[in-house]
Structure 1
Amino acid sequence: MRRVEHVMGFPVSLRVDDEDVPGSAADAVFGWLREVDERFSPFRPDSEVSRLDRGELSESGVSADLAEVLGLCEHYRVATGGAFDVRLPGRGLDPCAVVKGWSVQRAAELLRAAGARRFVLNAGGDVVASGGPWRVGVRHPEHADQLCTVLALTDGAVATSARYERGDHIIDGRTGRPATGLLSLTVVAPTLTEADSVATAAFAMGAEGVEWAASLDGCEVFAVDAERRVLRTEGFPTAGEPSTAA
């Protein structure tokens, strides 16, 4: 089974190699992601996030899903000393950095519940994989047609935060300025909820975020800093390709 749709502002591709998984499983995955976009997008004025931001909802009155997301946001705000913050001064509530990984991980759990054991779900370059090993390329932070490393992913997730797609869009909440200490940072973790949130939170911290992310249980890190030096944890699952940014 293979399927690609544009959801939440980026392409989402699904590949399932199990022959007995029904097509309804893919329907459930993309239906869930569309629901997430409707409920949690800060760019939709009628979303639950927008209504909370305008004060039309109290935090005690939000859905269980949004409460979970906001709890994750607060966890990473505290863990990074405020570098990661979804409530920046002068900006509306924007939990997208957590919502993406959290929702795609939930979609992967829908696949497993439907009997899928060997699959890859790729959401705008952030990947949940099962039944590998799968080879996942990490884009070079300065050259779109090159990879800076390839990793082998069996059961787990990988996410990258970088400046190459949207410029200096990740803000260090401690300073209110764009985080510029890194060119890209990739995290491998057991779930995409962790991988995506940790990658963004660590990127917001700048160079010190590499060591912070590497200290977390289950996380392996590959980063390229502003001086184009490669920083990689010993357990990062490279698949044998050169891992330089030069």
Structure 2
Amino acid sequence: MALLRDAKPLMGTVFSIAAPDGVDGGRFERAWQEACDLLWRIEQIYSPFIPDSPVSRIRDGRFGPGDLDEQADLSAAEAEDFREVLGLCAQLRRESDGAFDAWAVGDPPNFDPSGAVKGWAAERASALLVERGVTAHLLNAGGDVRLRTDGVATWSVGVEDPHRPENILARLEIAEGAVASSGTRQRGTHIWDPRRRRPAEGIAQVTIVGPDLALADGYATAALALGGRARRFLADLGEGGPYQGCIVDDAQGVWWTEGFEQYAPALRGLLRPSAGHGGDFQGTFGTSGG
């Protein structure tokens, strides 16, 4: 099936969209522009690289999280959204035992919610697209994707090998949900271990599949920072839960949770399981088995 596509630079990365061409082209363009406007506004609020953004003002002590309602550049709804993001960051810190900590990013440590905000923003943009009639789409947020379908077809997502990026090692068949990865191939040791105060090491890439991109992205970041403890973290996460993961280590060893196989049945029985993704997902759309 042919796809409508577009891409725009936003939030320090590239957001792109693909949608089945059954949707009206004008509706697609209007909905996509509205989603991009939303993402632009989110960037103005949460970017630590914009000197006068609310996040930058928190970082340099001009105000605290308890003063959100007093900020003239935040609407009441945006202040409430900010509290939601703070709650998301607190949840990720708690569930990862501090491996994800938005309050201890970098050296010296400071507040930077970017590791949670990108996925959260993509979820908001995806929900807006659905509201505007683009119900089936793949929204790619700098390599992490939110997938929605019409209830009949599925997305086939090609996954790269971080050690041999020219190879597609597996295809994930997903009707609805999110796929997020953290890895060192694209941006080097960009993941900071807040507990040991140094870059994460030992793992080349972590891929998480689940219902929500904000949590999937945060879990992938935390697992990469955990290094040798990542398997236990993902095993606990995947046991009876909706989030499943796959790890590729620096020595090219691969491990995945049992539930990950439901998205990539070709993994079963492989001596060298395929996994991982550090760059852009390659998505196609069609009926299951087609």
Shared fold (TM-score, shorter chain, > 0.5): yes
Partner of 2:23: 19
Q: Out of 256, 268, 275, which is 1:232 matched to?
A: 256
Looking at CA atoms only, which structure, 1 or 2, has the larger radius of gyration? Answer: 2
Three-state SS of the structure 2 residue aligned to 1:213 is helix
Three-state SS of the structure 1 residue aligned to 2:259 is coil
- Alpha-carbon contact 1:210-1:221 (below 8 Å) kept: no
Q: Out of 177, 193, 197, which is 1:156 matched to?
A: 177
Q: Out of 65, 81, 105, which is 2:123 matched to?
A: 105
Cα deviation digits, residues 87-139 of structure 1 (max 9, x gap):
22613311111001000011110011112221111111101111141111222
Three-state SS of the structure 1 residue aligned to 2:180 is strand
Amino acid at match of 1:110: L
Q: What is the correspondence of 1:1-246 to structure 2 with a 5 Å cutoff? A: 1-17=4-20, 18-20=22-24, 22=27, 23-62=29-68, 63-88=79-104, 90-131=108-149, 132-216=153-237, 217-236=241-260, 237-238=263-264, 240=266, 243-244=273-274
Cα deviation digits, residues 197-227 of structure 1 (max 9, x gap):
1111121111322331342220111111233
> How big is the shift at 1:7?
0.9
State the distance in 2 between where 1:211 and 1:128 align. Answer: 26
> How big is the shift at 1:154?
0.8
- Which segment drifts farther, 85-94 or 174-183? 85-94
- Which segment drifts farther, 89-98 or 170-179? 89-98
- Which segment drifts farther, 95-104 or 224-233? 224-233
Q: Which runs of 4+ in 1 moved over 6 A?
A: none
State the distance in 1 between where 2:211 and 2:154 align. Answer: 14
Three-state SS of the structure 1 residue aligned to 2:196 is coil
Three-state SS of the structure 2 residue aligned to 1:207 is helix
Three-state SS of the structure 2 residue aligned to 1:169 is coil
> How big is the shift at 1:33?
1.0
Report the identity percentage: 37
- Alpha-carbon contact 2:96-2:219 (below 8 Å) kept: no
State the distance in 1 between where 2:205 and 2:259 align. Answer: 18
TM superposition score normalised by structure 2: 0.79
- Which segment drifts farther, 73-82 or 34-43? 73-82
- Specify every segment of 5 or more residues in structure 2 that has no aligned partner in the other structure, as ranges: 69-78, 276-290
- Alpha-carbon contact 1:84-1:205 (below 8 Å) kept: no
Three-state SS of the structure 2 residue aligned to 1:129 is strand
Three-state SS of the structure 1 residue aligned to 2:258 is coil
- Alpha-carbon contact 1:207-1:225 (below 8 Å) kept: no
Amino acid at match of 1:53: R
Amino acid at match of 1:157: A
- Which segment drifts farther, 48-57 or 152-161? 48-57
- Alpha-carbon contact 1:213-1:221 (below 8 Å) kept: yes
Three-state SS of the structure 1 residue aligned to 2:109 is coil
TM superposition score normalised by structure 1: 0.92
Distance 1:223 1:148, change over 3 A: farther
State the distance in 1 between where 2:120 and 2:14 align. Answer: 17
Give the paired residue count: 245
- Specify every segment of 5 or more residues in structure 1 that has no aligned partner in the other structure, as ranges: none
